[in-house]
Structure 1
Amino acid sequence: MSTFPCLDFDLKTPACVEWRLDDVTQYLVDPDPQRGRLMLESRFSHEASSASFQLHCPIRVKGIESQSHIIGLIHTHSITLFSYDENPEVPDIVRKKLNCRAVRLHFDLRQPLDLIVSTAATEPVQPRKRLSGQVFDSLRSLAKATALDVYISAREVSQAKLSAVCEAVAQNILQPLESDIPTALSSLYGGSGGKVISLSSSSHSSSAPPNDEPPSYAELGPPPPPDLKASSQPKSQPLLSVGPITEGSDKKRRRLDDSSTSPGIDNYHDVWATLSDMRKEMHRLANRVEQLERENKELKEELDDLRASCEKATDAIDADGAALLEVHEDLNELRVHVDFLSHGGLDSDAEEHIVETVKNSVLTHILERGYNTKITIEKS
């Protein structure tokens, strides 16, 4: 089996997906929460000419309190064509999301991709928020497509590596990276495991006809304003009238309005989560303000010390300047005196000193001689 060294790379990058279903172009761009990013994760191994392609879509599902994601698994053995375009015509919705020069990866598939969710999600898998419901609609549609385009940043992968993938698919030698599906599923979601789901089959009642699917979350629209007259109706009667509907549709609508999927409860949890985040943020900001005040106080003390040191240094400089001025004056006087002496001059102080010295010397000499003479006579 031939191998392709260029296949020895891994890739995980933000992506946008485009496909056509029922002659309508559809996109998966914004997950839930919207600050998250839809990611394309591709892993390759040139030793076995194997690869794995996965789309990770952040979403909120019931049964999982924290943020989770649904994996769109593209089966490697089902890829009949892989191509790329380095200078595609990028749709505006994709350009705004990626905000960079994009390359388009095209997949033709024998079978649609599989959707995988964490085993912690409750059955049937349902969204926790309305925005998640809209993402569910997009994933439900994507799970029926056999051709799709994935837009990624052109900086993330080279032309040589993309060409190697194209050649491997064309030669029909690209194998799944994980051949043991149960083992691969059990390793997902941090080891908690994943399960394959079918959003289309889990979204309609068992008594409804096979092709009778409920309206999408986007088609439901916002709930109508409360009716004061409806509050006087018995509790057994529904508060929302949707006109003549079939028995199967009635069951589906009641499941959407069930207490387990009540938007009021979801909104309550969202508001509570938002308040909790705000409280944490306020606590963090309060700690930060306290820290800044403490640092400001320390800086003020340090500034006062520096100001005192500068004042002492200024006083010392002034004292040194006065002393230097006195030394300069003494040097000028000494320079005049030396110049006078160098020309044979003798000032009054020097003359007086010399006369005094000579006089003392003469007197001392006379006295010493006289004393010695007296001593000599007495001895005779």
Structure 2
Amino acid sequence: MVIASSPPSSDDDARRAPAPIHGRGAASHLAGRFARQQACAEDDGWGSAHAAQADAPALRTEVRVERARRVISRNQSPDIGLRQSVNPYRGCEHGCAYCFARPSHAYLDLSPGLDFETRLFAKTNTAEVLRTELARPGYVPAPIALGINTDGWQPIERRYGISRACLEVLREARHPVSIVSKGSALRRDLDLLAALAREGLVHVYISVTTLDNRLSARLEPRAAAPQARLRLIAALREVGVPVGVLVAPVIPALTDADLERILIAAREAGAQAAGYVLLRLPHELKALWRQWLQAHYPERAERVMHLLQQMHGGRDYDARFGHRQRGSGPLADLLAQRFGKTCARLGYSVLPPLRTDLFVPPRPPSPQGTLF
């Protein structure tokens, strides 16, 4: 075992390329960007490093309960249509290899790799604090994105039900909400979503990355399968919920060929609107993504990164507003044209605007309940 004085570089991490772990998107405990030291296994020539990894116990999901002081976050990003968001969970058990939120775990002194998908945090008082914040004098209603950083309907939602509790508060206050998810747990909340939809208070976008089940299982090991997400779109439309499809992320030379097929399948399932996002690789995600490519598709790794760099001005990632989600250059322009033409041919439109005029401030929590 070697202790490094600083985290290794992205190139070092990519060359190390640990073996995939069944049911997990990341394959290593890559150190966060604030870490000063990192422990890493080095092969002594006798295969000891690989043997140690093979003999390691299976990773289990650990959930730590948090008590939030504030839950409504606000942003000024021109790339995000909504200015308010609520995130009931930190980390995400879906384990998507490409998740742009992975680097946020570094702020907790945890790995954006395996820790992000196995060491989770549940803010169990989110609905209670949300009620308090909505009830404050002077609060001006604006649509809230629920679970925008990490999926509010990831597998642990079935146990904790925090996102559902938030929907109940928003329904009571007649407050608009927007959701992006790939979690099948969303089906349990069709009743609340239908009630919100009847008053023009909800939008739902279902994220679909690929229609290839085998590729999806490697990219998004604990998320709903592609066909299950299409059935979820159909179920949402059946109860009257405005629903769109988000083709995200689009990965050149890996998932980009599925763009038109996803749009067709989602439209047939009932999707009314569509969007797409190019693969984003902020901070530690660059190294994690290279590891994933080397572990699963080593023969395509160089081509995927070369094409992605062409769309990000020669870099792995261009973080500038207006560029980070769509890219730039001829390949990015071609992708935008393919998306636009397909949407026009299939008759995609936009979801109706969310209403804010129905808002009724909820009663703040009281130990006396509703007696007074």
* TM-score (structure 2 length as normaliser): 0.21
Q: Answer with 1 or 2: which has the greater Rg.
A: 1
* TM-score (structure 1 length as normaliser): 0.21
Q: Which protein has the bigger helix share?
A: 1
